[in-house]
Amino acid sequence: MCGRVEHRVTAVSHGAVASLFAYAALPPIGSPVARVAITVAVGLATAPTSGGKCSPDADQFGSWKKWDRRIPDELLLCGGPMRHRGISHWWGLPAAATWGLHEACTRLPLLLAVLLLIVAGLPLLGWWSHLWSDLWIGGQYLGGKRPEADDPAGAWDRKSTMDADDHPRGPGIPLFPWWGHVGLGWRVGSVGEWVYVLATTIVGGAAVYGAWRGVILPTWSLPAAGIAAAAVVVLGTVNSIQGLPARTRARRATRRRLAA
């Protein structure tokens, strides 16, 4: 999912749902207007880091691309960490930040912990929202030097033939720092993407209505969330493995082109 609008719409929905979970841990707020206002505010606060220059898609914009052209990161293989859907899309970075945020909040007074969650937690939620959406949306890339292929910034024609944006990769996001991509592989702009966006929008609207009605979701369960995420990752891994022969053929074709 490369469209900034789509990412921000889904992030607002994710933030709205997250606010309902937060009500289980925070003191009850009696006014429906206040609950809805907080729910919408939480959703909107996730938008800046869910799409655009402050999101994982920073790897598609000018400053990142400028340094990508200067740094020979392709020597690290697999297209290099600065490729699109490379290191900036690796789940390990927000996971480390989330762990650090959790450790800090458990050691701070309640007021400071809430302030830290507002300042750092909501942008982090937007980042997670982007990665979660990209796990569903984004087909594999077989290379081929197309200017529109994963590189709207136009760096595709100013690097070597085996540059970051010409190196085949799997669907979704990297399981390892910038390689081993897994994902369900629904293509950007496809019906699947818009079904996903519509579904998350409906869920976000339901969260706003739930805030108005005073609905509080059950306490968030780490094991249940882990099982759900693992199921999506397993399906994404299966999809990535199915596309492996095509990516292998694409790499061989590129090597033959280089040797010619």
Tens of pLDDT, residues 87-97: 999 999 999 99
The answer, yes or no, to whether residue 22 has pLDDT greater than 60, is: yes
**pLDDT of 184:** 86
Model-level pTM greater than 0.85? no
The pLDDT confidence band at residue 141, using thresholds 50, 70 and 90, is confident
Of the candidates 29, 49, 167, the one whose C-alpha atom is nearest the C-alpha of residue 119 is: 49
pLDDT band at 212 (very low <50, low <70, confident <90, very high): confident
CA 178 to chain centre: 14
pLDDT digits 0-9 by tens, 3-16: 567 778 888 888 88
Region of 215 on the Ramachandran plot (φ > 0 left; ψ -120 to 50 alpha; else beta): beta
Structure tokens at 250: 């694409």
Mean pLDDT of 150-157: 40
**In the predicted structure, residue 68 carries a pLDDT above the cut 90:** no
Over residues 206-230, mean pLDDT: 76
Q: In the numeric block, which tokens belong to residue 134? A: 């990209």
- Domain range holding 157? 4-259
Return the minimum-mean-pLDDT range out of 45-59, 123-137, 157-171, 195-209: 157-171
SS (H, E, C) the chain: CCCHHHHHHHHHHHHHHHHHHHHCCCCCCCCHHHHHHHHHHHHHHCCCCCCCCCCHHHHHCHHHHHHHHHCCHHHHCCCCCCCCCCHHHCCHHHHHHHHHHHHHHHHCCHHHHHHHHHHHHHHHHHHHHHHHHHHHECCCECCCCCCCCCCCCCHHHCCCCCCHHHCCECCCEECCCCCCEECCCECCCCHHHHHHHHHHHHHHHHHHHHHHHCCCCCCCCHHHHHHHHHHHHHHHHHHHHHCHHHHHHHHHHHHHHHHC
Q: Lowest-pLDDT range, 14-18, 42-46, 109-113? A: 14-18
As given in the structure block, the two tokens for residue 94 are 């927000």
Res 88: pLDDT: 92
Phi-psi region of 219 (alpha: psi -120 to 50; beta: other; left: phi over 0): beta
What Rg value do the Cα atoms of the chain yield, rounded?
A: 20
For the chain, the domain total comes to: 1
Looking at the DSSP bridge assignments, the partners of residue 125 are none
Res. 189: pLDDT tops 80 = no
The first and second tokens of residue 103, run together, are: 């450790």
Confidence of residue 27 (pLDDT cuts 50, 70, 90): low
pLDDT for the residue 112: 92
How large a percentage of the chain has pLDDT more than 90? 12
